[in-house]
Amino acid sequence: MQKNDSPHSFPDLSAMPLISVFGGRDVPQDILQAAEAFGAIAAQQGWIILNGGKNGVMEAVSKGVRDAGGLSIGILPGEDYSEANPYLQVALRTGIGLARNEILARAAHVCVAIGGHYGTLSEIAYALNYGTPVISLRSWGIEGVIPASNAEDAAAKVKAALP
């Protein structure tokens, strides 16, 4: 069977931007709402969302993406698929723990930090180290990070930062 003779019909995703979303598991409701709103906007823009695959911001952004018909991929730290939030379309178990933060930072065209704690800070640091633009929506305000005031502003700044 030749490559073009596949019985499956998958869309060409190669031109779709990859946006990693960083954020905490234990965050206030308003942060979760912002993450869900950003996910919906990202899906409408045709962006693929990468995240850590678990709950909190990761689950909220995945819900926004899924409800808007987009694609979200979770990079799980452990080896158990039951850790994955129910809104992911794809869950990848890695068994590499927090090292998955580096994958999220490296794989993306642009990263968005929404809320979060030290794990989020590590993801931001990895992204900045790789030269990947980072948008901060109520997250860490450190040198090199582009602040956003709400989900719509974050999406506009992602769009401006895309290569």
Tell me: the pLDDT tens digits for 15-52? 899 999 999 999 999 999 999 999 999 999 999 999 99
Other beta carbons within 10 angstroms of residue 38's beta carbon come to 31
- Please give the CATH number for the structural domain made up of 15-161: 3.40.50.450
Is residue 13 very low, low, confident or very high in pLDDT (cuts 50, 70, 90)? confident
Q: Please report the pLDDT score of residue 1 as a whole number.
A: 35
Q: What is the 3-state secondary structure (H, E, C) of 7-30?
A: CCCCCCCCCCCEEEEEECCCCCHH
pTM greater than 0.75 (yes/no): yes
Kindly tell me if the per-residue pLDDT of 12 is higher than 90.
no
Other beta carbons within 10 angstroms of residue 130's beta carbon come to 13
